Amino acid sequence: MKETLHRLLSGKPAKFAAATLGVVLVFGGYGIANSGRIPGFFIFSAPAPILVYFEMNRKNPEVDRFMAYHAAVSDGFESDEEPSRFHAAFAHVKVWHMAPPSDTALVDAAIAQAEKAKTATRVSAANRSLVDEAITGMISTLDVHSAYREHDPGSERLSELPRHELTDGLIVSRAGDGYLFRKVFHASPAWNAGLRDGDILLAVGTRRAEQTSWAAIRDEINLTGSQVELSLLRGGTPISRVLRRDLIEPDLSYDLNGTILHLRIRSFTLDAAAAARRILRDIADGPAISGILLDLRGNAGGNLMAAQEIADLFLAEGILVTIERQKEISRTTIETRDGDIAEAIPLVVLIDSGSGSASEVLAGALKDRKRAVLIGERSFGKGSVQIVIPLFEGKALYLTVGLSRRPGGRLIQDAGIVPDVAIDTGPAEKRFRESDLRGYFPVSQDEEQPERVIPAESCPDSSDPVLACARAQMDRMTAPANSASAEAGFLTE
């Protein structure tokens, strides 16, 4: 047993390295896995690398079926490592994913994708890329947020949309000869360039989108240079828009209007968390601020540890979120620490349908713990949690491991966060949310309702009614008792 554990932990031979090393790296880099306040392995009753090890060394007829298929259509594997590439990915899926399909379904999908790629590219099955195709096919049987793709080990955005590329904030699907922009998140580079939900991308520069993968299109857009022209179809009319590097907005910005701080966070990164703390400390050294507007609109998420650090600025010690792994009915609670810079300052939080994942964790905790008033519209509803498992040659598995539960007990998945005060903008096109994604996890629970619904036209400024109503709410919360401002307010505290 001692020798077995030594081989397991040292990563020798190659298949042990493929099965274990990546998992250890996840705990070193993924915010919710080990933040300094969460001891031990993430929501597991036994060390996950050992579980992966046993899965890889268990006789599995379905894995053998894939190996036999691969051997039959090729002259053999490229190296001794080649069989372990597929087997390691298979083992990680079985151990980590919260609801993996049957072994048969996983291998069926792997073989189907490998056959499709072999036919399309006419490459030998001994080619390493064919095994990648098989892994991609296997992962396609999982939920919408699980994936097998390129991974930057230095990136801190391990499960969410990054925000430093021109394609950030886009959700797309194939539509005929092009790509349909199903969702263009507010304040993303695409939004700032004039792209909108429902636009169909036909070409990038001179490159047609027809029969081109989205990965290739994405690289074409992001690697072109300072700007790139897109040919689009909007409502049947051809249009063009230009994406430029200067349209990428910073992760955090702020504006001090009198004694009210408007703090806008567009993505949760460790840099953004540090900047938020620095801003609040600098302001604390100057004239006192009477209230904070925390703007999470269009924030699709990011690093949950960064969201935890920002939560510490506003919340006393207590629960931030609980991650539940349904397969083993195990859970991990992530908490905030006691006392910080802005714990007692009145707080209003702005959310919309583009507020997702880590944004929803923070907003849900602030609401359930009665720390803030939430204003806007129901959030995106992305309450699943992913880990990243680096595997081979810059590739990684992104696997859904659990669901987020708010301090008050409600799941974030599907339902999202309903604001205390909903701003009704009237009849409009349907908002794109998690439930519109193919392969999402549906959740059944009682529907949450806002305490108050305010028509947008009742807000002081029609150009941004949510922000205007948030300012009005803050005026009411910070006005002296029995003053005209306090009595005139139309929102609830």
Mean pLDDT of the chain: 78
The C-alpha atoms of residue 328 and residue 178 are separated, in whole angstroms, by 42
- Decide if pLDDT at 490 tops 80: no
Q: How far is CA 296 from CA 170, 189, 362, 403, 417, in A?
A: 17, 17, 9, 21, 12
- 426 and 381 in a single domain? The answer is yes
- 339 and 369 in a single domain? The answer is yes
- 83 and 215 in a single domain? The answer is no
Q: How far is CA 489 from CA 372, 406, 469, 471, 480, in A?
A: 17, 30, 10, 11, 12
Q: Is residue 195 part of a domain?
A: yes
- 90 and 237 in a single domain? The answer is no
pLDDT tens digit sequence for 431-489: 778 887 777 878 888 889 999 999 999 999 888 999 999 999 999 998 875 554 444 44
Q: Is residue 154 part of a domain?
A: no
The C-alpha atoms of residue 135 and residue 46 are separated, in whole angstroms, by 26
What Rg value do the Cα atoms of the chain yield, rounded? Answer: 24
Which of the listed ranges 95-99, 106-110, 265-269, 340-344 does the model predict with the highest average pLDDT?
A: 106-110
The C-alpha atoms of residue 98 and residue 384 are separated, in whole angstroms, by 10
Q: Is residue 406 part of a domain?
A: yes
Would you call 152 helix, strand, or coil by DSSP? coil
The C-alpha atoms of residue 320 and residue 318 are separated, in whole angstroms, by 7
- Decide if pLDDT at 288 tops 90: no
- 273 and 358 in a single domain? The answer is yes
Contacts of residue 132, defined as CB under 8 A and 6 or more positions apart, other chains included, come to 148, 395
- 113 and 181 in a single domain? The answer is no
- 242 and 256 in a single domain? The answer is no
Give the range of the structural domain holding residue 60, as residue numbers without chain letter.
Answer: 2-96+101-141
Q: Does 349 or 149 have the greater pLDDT score? A: 349
* Cis peptide leading into residue 13 (ω within 30°): yes
pLDDT at residue 153, rounded to an integer: 52
Report the percentage of the chain scoring pLDDT > 90.
32
Concatenate the DSSP letters of all residues of 301-341 into one string.
Answer: -B-HHHHHHHHHHH--SEEEEEEEETTTTEEEEEEEPS--T
Q: Is residue 192 part of a domain?
A: yes
Instruction: Name the β-bridge partners of 453.
Output: 422
- 369 and 470 in a single domain? The answer is yes
What average pLDDT score do residues 103-120 get? 88
Hey, what amino acid is at 367? K
pLDDT at residue 34, rounded to an integer: 28
What is the number of alpha carbons within 13 Å of residue 441 lying toward its C-beta?
27
The C-alpha atoms of residue 9 and residue 454 are separated, in whole angstroms, by 58
Q: Is residue 153 part of a domain?
A: no
pLDDT tens digit sequence for 381-426: 999 888 888 887 778 888 998 899 999 999 999 999 999 999 998 7
Q: Is residue 31 part of a domain?
A: yes
Neighbours of 192 (CB within 10 A): 17
- Decide if pLDDT at 363 tops 80: yes
Would you call 17 helix, strand, or coil by DSSP? helix
Structure tokens, 20:
């274990």
The C-alpha atoms of residue 53 and residue 60 are separated, in whole angstroms, by 13
Q: Is residue 443 part of a domain?
A: yes
- 243 and 256 in a single domain? The answer is no
Q: Is residue 161 part of a domain?
A: no
* pTM of the full structure: 0.74
Number of domains the chain contains: 3
Q: Is the dihedral of CA 59, 65, 67, 72 positive or negative?
A: positive
Q: Does 144 or 61 have the greater pLDDT score? A: 61
- 412 and 264 in a single domain? The answer is yes
pLDDT tens digit sequence for 50-76: 777 778 778 899 999 999 988 888 765
Q: How far is CA 485 from CA 90, 473, 493, in A?
A: 62, 10, 13
pLDDT at residue 139, rounded to an integer: 94
- Length of the chain, please? 493
